[in-house]
Structure 1
């Protein structure tokens, strides 16, 4: 990849990985991926010196780059295997997509904010993430033309899982989503058969709400 990634940044990433490990993340593939992704490149220059703190930060358009621990939780719950097709709803900065890419996923990511879509598309290509396909669209609709997906990850809060996303999940596939208003419960849904789904919950988190339509 063609970008500035100093020994200092690598050291700060390793410290971040150790912090996330201490918080209970045990999936070594997730930790390794977070250790590879140059988070400082996904953030506004005014926040670059804080890039490897385990915090969320604004990225414009009312959106945030997720806290690394939250990215680690969702990535772990997704149980991604190399080569799997993963649909991400809410591209944002592209950081979560990059982590999934480092884990070997073929990522299809939908963003509703035009400016973020354009900015993140340029960034991901410039630093070498070419197995991530970005789409400007309504996350509630998913990407029916590319379905079914092995895994689906939603990076914004919804009250109820959109039916379109459940229909685009393969049988035996997993969908990870923060459900609820106010604070959200991290939820993993497994598609057992065409009409049957199994649901598990994994603690409380805070996400920006998922909005319908494409932002003008």
Structure 2
């Protein structure tokens, strides 16, 4: 079946009441225009509503991508930053709405940055700037942004991303740890709207990405190890204290 037909069927299913995740004309038209198979590869699986793993990242199911896009609600001409670009599909849909020259994307994993650039070029969105950055720091060179989309979970809105918002800008992100909610955050980190439960992988920091040369322990694991160590005594410490008490008892 032709990709155009598969794409129409995909968006139709996302608009129908059973799913109802595509509600606006802007998102619906953009998802009908963006050739998702340029980002996923196989034409048949590209338009199935399911997620899959690729180079250590999750390629979002179309219905999940639609939820993010509807919450973000970019307008034509908006300056947009996508954090966690992955293979670039969500970025492409944003570029279709806002204009490719207005969209910037970053990812912490270098192979994904190269792949996103290639995919966006092949799909006709080569003007999108894609760079390798730590998502926690955002992309301050091109701030302020009308919209920032974070495609990974965080307990609190990253301060740098909030600081890079325009005065009336908005950050859309999955917030939480084990229990997550898709939220819209405004300047000052105030939650403006909640869009229901989601489940995303946590935001990565340097040392945690899949292409790291040496991954014996991540920075997050270092912190947890230090916290555990601070709250307990090691075996040699117990032995020393025991012997000390025995010596004091003999005096």
Using the size of structure 1 for normalisation, the TM-score is 0.88
Q: Hey, which of these two has a bigger chunk of helix by percent?
A: 2
| Cα separation, partners in 2 of 1:196 and 1:10, compared to 1, 3 Å | closer
CA contact (8 A) 2:152 2:200 kept: yes
Q: Which has the higher contact order (CA 8 A, sep 6+)?
A: 1
Partners of 1:98 and 1:118 in 2: CA distance: 15
Gaps of 5+ in 2: 213-251
Partners of 2:74 and 2:59 in 1: CA distance: 21
CA contact (8 A) 1:43 1:59 kept: no
Residues 1:30 and 2:27 aligned together: yes
| Residue of structure 1 in register with 2:243 after alignment | none
Match runs of 1:42-81 below 5 Å: 42-45=39-42, 48-60=43-55, 62-81=56-75
CA contact (8 A) 1:183 1:207 kept: no
Where does structure 1 differ by over 6 angstroms across 4 or more consecutive aligned residues?
none
Instruction: Give the drift of 1:196.
Output: 6.8
Residues 1:199 and 2:192 aligned together: yes
Partners of 1:41 and 1:177 in 2: CA distance: 25
RMSD: 1.6
Residues 1:124 and 2:120 aligned together: yes
CA contact (8 A) 1:190 1:197 kept: yes
Using the size of structure 2 for normalisation, the TM-score is 0.77
| Residue of structure 2 in register with 1:211 after alignment | 204
Q: Secondary structure at the match of 2:27?
A: helix
Gaps of 5+ in 1: 1-6
